[in-house]
Amino acid sequence: MKKDNYIVGIETSCDETAVAIVKNGREIISNVVASQIESHKRFGGVVPEIASRHHVEQITIVLEEAFEQAAIEWEAIDAITVTEGPGLVGALLIGVNSAKALAFAKQKPLIGVHHIAGHIYANRFEQEFQFPLLALVVSGGHTELVLMKEHGHFEVIGETRDDAAGEAYDKVARMLNLPYPGGPHIDRLASNGEENIKFPRAWLEEGSYDFSFSGLKSSVINTIHNAKQRGEQLKNEDIAASFQASVVEVLTEKTFKAAQQYHAKQVIVAGGVAANQGLRAALQEKFSDTDVSLLIPPLKLCTDNAAMIAAAGTIAYQQGKRSGWDLNANPALLLE
């Protein structure tokens, strides 16, 4: 009989210190996340040095909690997996070095994992993958369309040429004096507003699956400025609704086209912005008449966590990938 795989995941790429233990890549045994969001709020964004300071203070506490919750023996653990990149280098370094120490102390295999592979594999806790699979990854740092023909193989068919969608949300939120992080606030305002301002949609050249949000961002800023100069008062709800409509339309259309071109059996949404209600609703509608299975993870698996790293790491482990003791943090790691 095939033995069960128990994989440890460690994630410290941004402002969450997280450790999880996952069984066979699909079952969460424990999943502990220590968020620093309160500490960064006063700065209006994540400060890398502060994030790194928190990670080094939290890491063994979070490890201990994850192992206590899992109540698992070390003999059962097959490998230690960790986010190798992309992310904030100083933050990544805490996870990577802690993972190396853990793997060395217990003499277990060590495997570096791509953060986005993690976001994609968070969906596998919900449903088994069907290939070809198309993943729309949207978060504070990423906007990407990723094609998977089999487990563990990723082909980026489209990505942002400037700002990530989440970044655009944060910047517009700041313009509207909304607290950090701005995404959820815009989403909430948008649901009470009307799409009465026509903001541009960046389709880019024909057939491209790339994204661009900097033009939209500038357009929002200019519109607010011009209205102010004319003494007009725009409703924040309407700005939010109109901005969100532009983002959601581009994301939804491009995802739909790519799904058709690559004959995707499954489309999954991954990353923090996958929590956005407007986006979820638009995608559900767009794919409702197709036989493509659309998978949107529950909110708690959209944000950064370590279970997703362990899930992606399980495939890497089963495919025989191993990292050496010289594993380093790689803030610009490519998904491949």
Partner 1 sequence: MNILAIDTSNQVLGVALLDNENIIGEFVTNLKKNHSVRLMPAVDSLMKEANIAPEQLDKIVVAKGPGSYTGVRIGLATAKTLAWALNVPVVGVSSLEVLSYQGRLSSSYICPFFDARRGMVFTGLYQWENGEMREQQEEKNILMEDWLKQLAAKQKEVLFLSPDIHMYREVILETMGDLTIIPEMPFHLAKPSHLALAGLHKEADSTHNLTPNYLRLAEAEANWLKMQKENNNG
Report the interface residues with Zn ion, using CB under 5 A: 139, 304
304: partner contacted, choices Zn ion, partner 1, none (Cβ within 5-8 A by kind) = Zn ion
Q: Which residues bind partner 1 (CB under 8 A)?
A: 42-43, 47, 49-50, 52-53, 55-57, 59-61, 63-64, 90, 93-94, 96-98, 100-102, 104-107, 324-326, 328-329
Q: What is the β-pairing status of strands 133-138 and 266-270? A: parallel
Instruction: Tell me how crowded residue 221 is: count the other CB atoms within 10 A of its CB.
Output: 13
Which one, of 233, 265, 260, lies nearest residue 130 by Cα? 265
Q: Which is nearer to Zn ion, 186 or 273 (CB)?
A: 273
Instruction: Tell me how crowded residue 215 is: count the other CB atoms within 10 A of its CB.
Output: 16
Q: How far apart are CA 84 and CA 324, in angstroms?
A: 12
Structure token pair of residue 304 = 């950064």
Q: How far is CA 103 from the centre of its chain?
A: 26
Minimum distance from CB of 92 to partner 1 (Å)?
Answer: 9
43: partner contacted, choices partner 1, Zn ion, none (Cβ within 5-8 A by kind) = partner 1
52: partner contacted, choices Zn ion, partner 1, none (Cβ within 5-8 A by kind) = partner 1
Minimum distance from CB of 119 to Zn ion (Å)?
Answer: 6
Minimum distance from CB of 77 to partner 1 (Å)?
Answer: 11
- The HSE-up count of residue 55 (CA atoms within 13 Å, CB side) is 29
53: partner contacted, choices partner 1, Zn ion, none (Cβ within 5-8 A by kind) = partner 1
Q: Which is nearer to Zn ion, 139 or 160 (CB)?
A: 139
Minimum distance from CB of 336 to partner 1 (Å)?
Answer: 21
Ramachandran angles phi, psi of 208, nearest 5°:
-85, 140
Minimum distance from CB of 333 to partner 1 (Å)?
Answer: 14
299: partner contacted, choices partner 1, Zn ion, none (Cβ within 5-8 A by kind) = none
Structure token pair of residue 181 = 């992080």
Helix (H, G, I), strand (E, B), or coil: what is residue 248? helix
